Amino acid sequence: MIDFAIPAALAAERDRVRQFVVDSIVPYERDPRMTAHGPTDDLRQELIELARAQQLLTVQAPESLGGRGLTHLEQAVIFEAAGWSTLGPIAMNCAAPDEGNMFLLSKVADPDQVQRFLAPMVSGHRRSVFAMTEPGGAGSDPSQLATEATFDGDSFRVNGRKWLITGAKGAKTWIVMARLAANPHLPEGPTLFVTDGDQPGIVIERTMNTMDRNYVAGHAVVRFDDVVLPRSALLGSAGRALRYAQLRLAPARLTHCMRWLGAAERVQRIAIEHARTRTAFGKPIGEHEGVSFMLADNEIALHQCRLTIWHACWLLDNGEHARHESSMAKSFVSEELFKVADRCVQVLGGIGVSDETVVEMIFRDMRAFRIYDGPTEVHKYAIGRKVLHG
């Protein structure tokens, strides 16, 4: 059965989330704590408390941890509403990388790890990182992983260097991917570990300067200098990190799409209003074909993106892995929404490249969406292989 109806209760909650973001979160977009490296932890915590007061904090979490256990389709509706402001998902504790990390820990962590690392994240008191990407190439191709862990039967010792680690400064829960060296105790290969951010040997070298600023604390270069971890730091089974990463990435790609869809819808609304009121050559610019066609292309793209996201979510909710469909969604949605934002800049003209509206900021932030959680080209490569070889 194909049913595109949104249940009345879900629609009402969507509207409540959107109003909360408009009324309570949008005013913070010009807060001085919105730095070149993203919101500060102080700003994040203030936003978190606003969402907590409205019972909108971490709604996607399992009910056993205090969330509502939303389906993927329900998340699509709610996260789109939250994405009206790039600060909305931060306030509701459903922003990257925390949302994806919470999902992974809920699936893989043992009970002690859940209580120590996951529960404080769900309650909004901890941020997290997923430390995988490396200067030497590990990222889209994690098989190039160079960070190494050795194991003597009692403890692990991790050494290596990583970069573009989102939110590293101030994060208290760290998920680290390292290649476990051959040893007589555990299987070798890419392995995940979970630890505290203040673990001796974790060195944050610097925060990188990037064009986006919608993630708390930005993106950092991190060094692991003889980081000693107990056996209890092992997340899941040794040697299975790539499988766990895929478990995390398929839904995480979609939640990125959901949030950015909300932001794209907002810039479209701003462009429409501008096209109605700005005049040129004797009439509102929206009545000129060149402008109206751009707005029409945007409307078509927003609709197509929403349906693409919903379909992949429906597959996940019905027990499918949906790797192929999530790759198609990430590739298509990231490219189309960036075009939407670009056309909105064009409609606004000179105002579009200024900070008179949020269009310029969302345009810059959205550019990175085409790269993280797999660049478009990597997804198309995977899609092509699937098409050719089944």
pLDDT of the residue at 23: 98
Distances (CA, A) of 118 to 53, 127, 178, 201: 21, 10, 21, 22
Residue type, 83: G
Longest dimension (CA), the chain: 80
Q: Provide the residue-wise pLDDT of the chain in tens; the chain has 390 residues.
A: 778 999 999 999 999 999 999 999 999 999 999 999 999 999 999 999 999 999 999 999 999 999 999 999 999 999 999 999 999 999 999 999 999 999 999 999 999 999 999 999 999 999 999 999 999 888 888 889 999 999 999 999 999 999 999 999 999 999 999 999 999 999 999 999 999 999 999 999 999 999 999 999 999 999 999 999 999 999 999 999 999 998 888 889 999 999 999 999 999 999 999 999 999 999 999 999 999 999 999 999 999 999 999 999 999 999 999 999 999 999 999 999 999 999 999 999 999 999 999 999 999 999 999 999 899 999 999 999 999 998
Let me know whether 56 and 73 are in one domain: yes
Are 128 and 174 in contact, with CB atoms under 8 Å apart? Answer: yes
Is position 101 within any domain? no
Helix axes 241-277, 359-367, angle to 10 degrees: 150
Distance separating alpha carbons of residues 322 and 380, to the nearest angstrom: 15
Are 110 and 119 in contact, with CB atoms under 8 Å apart? Answer: no
Let me know whether 150 and 225 are in one domain: yes
Is position 225 within any domain? yes
Let me know whether 79 and 181 are in one domain: no
Write the CATH number for 167.
Answer: 2.40.110.10
Let me know whether 337 and 297 are in one domain: yes
Let me know whether 257 and 235 are in one domain: no
pLDDT of the residue at 341: 98
Is position 165 within any domain? yes
Please work out, in degrees rounded to the nearest 5, the angle formed at the alpha carbon of residue 214 by the alpha carbons of 270 and 365.
55
pLDDT of the residue at 59: 98
Is position 210 within any domain? yes
Write the CATH number for 384.
Answer: 1.20.140.10
Let me know whether 269 and 373 are in one domain: yes
Let me know whether 264 and 287 are in one domain: yes
Q: Is 16 exposed, middle or buried (0-12, 13-18, 19+ CB in 10 A)?
A: middle
DSSP 143-175: GG---EEEE-SSEEEEEEEEEEEET-TT--EEE
Domain end call among 95, 119, 148: 95
Is position 153 within any domain? yes
Q: How much is the pTM? A: 0.96
- CB 290: neighbour CB atoms within 10 A? 9
Token pair in block for residue 25? 């979160």
Is position 123 within any domain? no
Let me know whether 164 and 91 are in one domain: no
- CB 41: neighbour CB atoms within 10 A? 15
Let me know whether 35 and 79 are in one domain: yes
Beta strand spans in the chain (E): 34-35, 38-39, 128-131, 148-151, 155-166, 173-180, 189-196, 202-208, 219-230, 234-235, 279-280, 283-284
Token pair in block for residue 119? 């529960």
Listed residue (385, 377, 271, 293) closest to 334, CA to CA: 377
Distance separating alpha carbons of residues 238 and 192, to the nearest angstrom: 7
Listed residue (164, 108, 156) closest to 132, CA to CA: 164
Let me know whether 65 and 134 are in one domain: no
Is position 102 within any domain? no
Domain that holds residue 80: 8-95
**Cis previous bond, 375, omega within 30:** no
- CB 368: neighbour CB atoms within 10 A? 17
Is position 116 within any domain? no
Let me know whether 86 and 213 are in one domain: no
Domains of the chain: total: 3
Domain end call among 218, 239, 260: 239
What single-letter DSSP state applies at residue 57?
A: S
Domain end call among 185, 216, 239: 239
Let me know whether 224 and 256 are in one domain: no
Are 322 and 315 in contact, with CB atoms under 8 Å apart? Answer: yes
